[in-house]
Amino acid sequence: MSKTSIVLLALLVIVAAVALRPGHAADDQVPQVGQQAPGFTLPSQDGTQISLDSFKGKWVVLYFYPKDMTSGCTLEAHNFQRDQAKYDKMNAVILGVSVDTPDSHKQFCTKEGLTFRLLADSDKKVTPEYGSLGTMMGMKMAKRNTFLIDPTGKITKVWIGVDPSHHSEEVLAELSVAEKS
């Protein structure tokens, strides 16, 4: 390979890396700990409208994820499902949000045996309120962020760019600490 070819290849790799990284607009501010969680009403996988307000008195694990039926999102959902009984004991509900449709969520839940609610933000109105809308390969999708919301509706913990392989354990550990305080 000539020196020019190597330089061109390196430049192509850099351009591709920049193009593939998740984008984020300056106005997509992530809500901070202590703030009231932005309210919303979104359709779930069974078509019912789910409002954040309906969970007052419970802990809410609000997790945003990129896409149904993908490996990382499936792993994260399986781990939340595996730990569902632990969340129930801690008076916590799990709500997953992506920009997929309710029908896509229904297929995902059926295929993967998921029993918690997946909410469809197909209009991409709620995801930006949580600073969680990004662009990957030219498509708008949710970033992998999670918000722990206390029974009064305040955000008590924010995770940005989570690792789906052990995220449920992180959330359970935080919930355990929060319940004791």
pLDDT digits (tens, 9 = 90+) for 25-71: 434 688 899 999 999 999 999 989 999 999 999 999 999 999 888 88
| Bigger pLDDT: 6 vs 115 | 115
pLDDT score of 10 more than 90? no
Using only C-alpha atoms, the chain has a radius of gyration, in whole angstroms, of 18
pLDDT score of 72 more than 50? yes
HEC string for 84-122: HHHHHHCCEEEEEEECCCHHHHHHHHHHHCCCCEEEECC
Are the CB atoms for 39 and 53 separated by under 8 Å?
yes
pLDDT tens string 134-172: 888 888 999 999 999 999 999 999 999 989 888 999 999
Residue 57 is predicted with a pLDDT of 96
Residue 94 is predicted with a pLDDT of 97
Single out the catalytic residue among 73, 94, 114, 162.
73
Instruction: State the architecture of 3-180 in CATH terms.
Output: 3-Layer(aba) Sandwich (3.40)
Question: What residue segments make up the domains of the chain, in order of their start?
Answer: 3-180
**Ramachandran region of residue 154, left (φ > 0), alpha (ψ -120 to 50) or beta?**
beta
The mean pLDDT of 95-114, rounded to a whole number, is 92
Verify whether residue 109 is a known catalytic residue. Answer: no
| Closest by Cα among 53, 37, 51, 44 to 117 | 44
Map tokens 């106005």 to a residue: 27
Under DSSP, is residue 153 helix (H, G, I), strand (E, B) or coil? Answer: coil
